[in-house]
Amino acid sequence: MAVIFGDFDVSDFWEPSDYADNEYVEPAPSDDVVRRLESKLGYRLPRTYVELARVQNGGIPKNTCHKTQQPTGWANDHVKISGIYSIGSTKPYSLGGMFRTQFWISEWRYPRIGIYFGNTPTAGHDMFCLDYRKCGPEGEPQVVNVDQEAGYRVVVVAANFEKFVRGLEPESAFPFEVD
C-alpha cells in the first residue's frame, strides 16, 4: 500500500487505462528531471505533486470531481478533471510535453498565472492550473480552474495540490441537474 501526504492511500487513486498510459504516464521522475523541468517552467512544483508522480507519474484519477465554492462552466458546485499531467516531456499530456503550459498561453491565450497541469472533458475550454500569483514562483500555489469560455474566469478549487487530491470525489457524488 502506497501512502502519500501522510495518511492518504494512493494505491487506488489512478484509473487503469491504456489511453492514460499512452498520453499521460511517464516513468517516476528523478530529482534531476524535476529540477530541470522546474527551471524550464520558472516555478517550483508542489512537493505533493512530485510525491504523487513518484507513485504514478500522470494519468487519470478514479475520482474526477471536486467541489467548488462558486459555479463553474461545468456545474454550479463542482469541476471535473480528465487527467493530471506527468512530470516530464515525452508524453503529450506532460508538464514539458506538447500540451505544456506555454501551449495553452500562446495558442489559447490562457493567462500567465502558473502551471497548467490538468485538462477537463471540455478539451481545452477550461483547464486546471497551479496558480502562483499569491505565493510567488517558489511558494505553495492554489489549484484553480480557468474557464476560457467565460473570459478566462479563475475559480479557486483548493488551497493547494494536496487538498485538491484529497478533495477529488467520484462523479456519482454529484447528482445530475437539469435547468
Residue with cell 487505462: 17
Q: How many domains does the chain have?
A: 1
Residue 179 lies in a domain: no
Residue 49 lies in a domain: yes
Alpha-carbon distance of 144 to 150, in angstroms, equals 14
Residue 105: closest CA among 41, 47, 159: 41
73 and 125 in contact (C-beta within 8 Å)? yes
- CATH assignment at residue 112: 3.40.1580.10
pTM comes to 0.94
Helix (H, G, I), strand (E, B) or coil at 73: coil
pLDDT tens for residues 87-135? 999 999 999 999 999 999 999 999 999 999 999 999 889 999 999 999 9
pLDDT tens for residues 32-53? 999 999 999 999 999 999 999 9
